[in-house]
Structure 1
Amino acid sequence: MRQPGDGHDCLEHLTIGRHHVERNVWDVLGAAGILRPHDRWEFVPAAHIDPASYIPLQVGASVPVPGGPGLWSTPPPPVGSGFTPEGVVDAAVFSPLVRVDVPRIQPGEQRVIGRLAPAAVRTVDHREVVRFLLQAEVVQTYWHIHAECCLEREDRTDGYRAVFSGTHWYVTNSQNFDPLAFTLSISVDGLIEVRAG
């Protein structure tokens, strides 16, 4: 298995983590008033984005645009309403998404994350979708500290598949690390799944 930095070439290398990445999803959602430090975030709703009122949330290197993969904040609620903004994805691109914790699923186990909308299957670059799912931590690749992920190969025949290997760091009584291997796939009809191992 290739590990980032072990001398093997990666098609792309991603570092994902709360304290190792600028504009990590937890800081971005916290600054927008969407999540507090110990909130659980298991489901990402989809909404029809009005760029005049929804706020693009820059996670990682890219700023979301309508019709592209990205995370948005719902319009600010009225002051004193007791409501907080919500992090959403663009319904023109995604169905609602379920977060998956890859290190906790068994090798060979597969989980459905959501779907690309029919128009997005044809127009949105699938590697960009995968990068977004990882950087927004819809596909969670680490427990406590961070993960180093190497995109080993991708296959664009009969849908899209991206095969990753790497390492994730976590803390019990001391700092630990374990290997990480998973495949993200997008079927020809837009089903997004992850398989461990």
Structure 2
Amino acid sequence: MPQAAGTTNNDSDGSLGAIPQRPQQTGSGDADALETVAAAGESLTAQTSETAQVAHTRIAEHQRQLAAEAAARAAREAKRWLLPISTYRITAGFGSGGSMWSSTHTGLDFAASTGTEVYSMSSGEIVFAGYDGPYGNKIVIEHWDGTETWYCHLSRFVQRSGEVSPGEVIGQVGSTGNSTGPHLHLEVHPDGGGPVNPRTWLEEQGVSV
């Protein structure tokens, strides 16, 4: 029988005509995307960690290099030789003769004003500080290479014991003992043996008198 206008065709079971359904998403695309993001994050974290480790290694190596350079400078400084006094006039050389000495002069005399500072000529240890007859107030330093230096006729001890560095003040110029005026009598005894010419010895160390 013909259908009336405006009516809807029903299936045999009386239901409306089937409406096409959109395919359901399985979620696999989102999961893949999340895995990709997570993998990228892990890679970035690994790269950041590796970069930080490399930077830390470089910093540590730089610090070790700086420490080694500082140690080398300190070692060179400790073995540096210099004059025992800054302002002076040489009044008697090694081997000079005269009534002031029992034989010949065993050192080098640096005339200077009383109170002028006297310096340690290099690093070492004070092994004697006291009054020693004709030498007056005297300091003996045993240096890093075994050389002994004697500083005599001092008016005052600034240091009497302990380790000293190059240029460290140990005393002051005076005229104690067998002396006719303020001066520093310097003696140099390599390996603690007999005295040698301080001027020649200093020049061998690169120090001009």
In terms of fraction of residues, the more helix-rich structure is 2
Quick one: higher RCO (CA 8 Å, sep 6+), 1 or 2?
1
In terms of fraction of residues, the more strand-rich structure is 1
Same fold (TM over 0.5): no
TM-score (norm 2): 0.23
Instruction: Tell which structure's C-alpha radius of gyration is larger.
Output: 2
TM-score (norm 1): 0.24
